[in-house]
């Protein structure tokens, strides 16, 4: 497994070098290190190249691998842009001095201050809500109002949720620490662990499928995975999506936890202008609409509208915690998960 991963990494490196060659310093490329893995992104990169003539070279790996690689490469890095699926990793890249501040009227118009780093080290691309999905035929949604409710012993053996190594859970935990304090956050994690139907494994999609198959009754997932399941070509995936209802937690209190997928310009970006152009392109109403329609994410540009399935879920109150704090509290979150025995 590790060898396959390493091989994949080396191959993507080769692809990058073949793709850029000596032209990486010219104005016709932008080199993107991205943790995102969605069709919508590929479509947008192609469109960007069509409109601008700037070729987009992609290196795909986990955010941790990409950050490590940026550190190792230092000044010699070809990377122009880092894209991650959460604010926590952007914060980490910024604190390691791997990003540079960008000022752009277009970005500042398209992206509200709550969705960007104040000096411009990173900008949000989309946001996602981490919601509770429940088996429609077995759970009364009136009985779960908050994330905190998941620790109630009445859900013993009912909860499926992914590993604590997953950054979406780490950021959720960071938000719970910020709202409830460390002690209560730990008690919450212990309560959830005690209620788990199985040891954490798989992706968010897998949790929904585990609810569909009856392995558990309640899952914690990002909204767009429900959208993707409901619109999948595969009938089994669609059925899994249809079998669950959605709860936006903490609506009577602080609001539902959200996180952003975001972009920053690499500190030593050889093609900084192109990097900014790509960021501006992605923040534009049209690109935002593509992300909303194809990937069921919430657009950050208010001119773009939610996908219709998301509209049917209605508006919801979001936890107003500043996104960089999710990064600040990431290591505490990981520690608490460990102490609680959340695998
Ligand atoms: Fe994801």
Expressed in angstroms and rounded, the spacing between residue 41 Cα and the centre of ligand 1 is 13
The CB density around residue 213, as the number of other CB atoms within 10 Å, is: 11
Per the DSSP assignment, residues forming a β-bridge with 110 are none
Alpha-carbon distance of 298 to 308, in angstroms, equals 11
Quick one: pLDDT at residue 37?
87
Write b or e for each residue in 218-245: b if 16 or more Cβ atoms lie within 10 A of its Cβ, otherwise e: bbbbbbbbbbbbbeeeeeebeebbebbb
293, containing H or E segment? helix 285-295
Quick one: pLDDT at residue 175?
97
**Position 27 pLDDT exceeds 90:** no
- pLDDT of 132-156, one tens digit each? 999 999 999 999 999 999 999 999 9
**Position 4 pLDDT exceeds 60:** no
Expressed in angstroms and rounded, the spacing between residue 23 Cα and the centre of ligand 1 is 32
Expressed in angstroms and rounded, the spacing between residue 39 Cα and the centre of ligand 1 is 12
Q: Select from 100, 218, 236, 98 the least CA-distant residue to 149.
A: 218
Q: Select from 161, 166, 130, 157 the least CA-distant residue to 249.
A: 130
Alpha-carbon distance of 115 to 45, in angstroms, equals 22
Quick one: pLDDT at residue 12?
52
Expressed in angstroms and rounded, the spacing between residue 219 Cα and the centre of ligand 1 is 15
Expressed in angstroms and rounded, the spacing between residue 81 Cα and the centre of ligand 1 is 19
Expressed in angstroms and rounded, the spacing between residue 86 Cα and the centre of ligand 1 is 9
**Position 196 pLDDT exceeds 60:** yes
Kindly list the structural domains of the chain, giving each domain's residue range(s) and its CATH number in brackets, ordered by start: 4-127+260-305 (3.40.190.10), 128-256+322-340 (3.40.190.10)
Residue with tokens 């859900």: 155
Query: Once rounded to an integer, what is the mean pLDDT over residues 214-242?
Result: 97
288, containing H or E segment? helix 285-295
**Position 5 pLDDT exceeds 80:** no
- Look over the chain and give the mean of its residue pLDDT values, rounded to a whole number: 93
Binding residue positions: 37, 224-225
Expressed in angstroms and rounded, the spacing between residue 75 Cα and the centre of ligand 1 is 30
**Position 3 pLDDT exceeds 60:** no
Binding residue positions for Fe cation: 37, 224-225
More confidently predicted of 4 and 83:
83
- pLDDT of 272-319, one tens digit each? 999 999 999 999 999 999 999 999 999 999 999 999 999 999 999 999
Expressed in angstroms and rounded, the spacing between residue 167 Cα and the centre of ligand 1 is 9
Expressed in angstroms and rounded, the spacing between residue 85 Cα and the centre of ligand 1 is 7
Quick one: pLDDT at residue 279?
98
Angle at 28 between CA 22 and CA 34, to 5 degrees: 85
**Position 21 pLDDT exceeds 80:** no
Q: Give the pTM.
A: 0.89
Expressed in angstroms and rounded, the spacing between residue 236 Cα and the centre of ligand 1 is 20
**Position 15 pLDDT exceeds 50:** no
Alpha-carbon distance of 129 to 136, in angstroms, equals 20
Report the 3 state secondary structure along 15-77: HHHHHHHHHHHCCCEEEEEECCCCHHHHHHHHHHHHHHCCEEEEEECCHHHHHHHHHHHHHHC
């Amino acid at each position: 497994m590790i060898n396959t991963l390493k091989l994949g990494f080396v191959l993507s490196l080769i692809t990058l070098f073949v793709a850029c060659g000596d032209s990486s310093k010219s104005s016709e490329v932008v080199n993107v290190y991205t943790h995102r893995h969605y069709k919508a992104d590929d479509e947008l990169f192609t469109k960007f190249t069509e409109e601008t003539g700037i070729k987009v070279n992609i290196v795909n790996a986990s955010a941790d691998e990409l950050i490590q690689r940026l550190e190792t490469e230092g000044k010699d890095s070809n990377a122009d842009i880092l894209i991650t699926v959460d604010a926590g990793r952007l914060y980490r890249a910024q604190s390691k001095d791997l990003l540079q501040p960008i000022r752009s009227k277009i970005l500042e118009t398209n992206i509200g201050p709550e969705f960007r780093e104040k000096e411009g080290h990173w900008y949000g691309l989309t946001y996602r809500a981490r919601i509770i999905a429940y088996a429609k035929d077995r759970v009364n949604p009136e009985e779960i109002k908050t994330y905190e409710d998941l620790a109630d012993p009445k859900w013993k053996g009912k909860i499926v949720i992914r590993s604590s190594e997953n950054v979406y859970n780490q950021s959720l935990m960071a938000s719970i620490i910020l709202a409830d304090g460390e002690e209560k956050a730990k008690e919450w994690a212990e309560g959830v662990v005690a209620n788990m139907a199985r040891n954490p494994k798989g992706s968010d999609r897998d949790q929904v499928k585990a609810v569909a198959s009856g392995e558990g009754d309640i899952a914690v997932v990002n909204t767009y995975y429900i959208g993707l399941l409901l619109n999948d070509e595969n009938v089994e995936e669609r059925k899994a999506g249809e079998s669950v209802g959605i709860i936006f937690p903490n609506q009577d209190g602080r609001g539902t936890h959200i996180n952003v997928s975001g972009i920053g310009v690499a500190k030593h970006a050889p093609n900084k202008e192109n990097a900014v152009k790509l960021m501006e392109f992605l923040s534009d109403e049209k690109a935002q609409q593509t992300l909303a329609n194809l990937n069921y994410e919430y657009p950050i540009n208010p001119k773009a509208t939610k996908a219709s399935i998301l509209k049917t879920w209605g508006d919801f109150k979001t936890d107003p915690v500043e996104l960089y704090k999710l990064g600040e509290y990431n290591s505490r979150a990981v520690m608490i998960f460990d102490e609680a025995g959340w695998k």
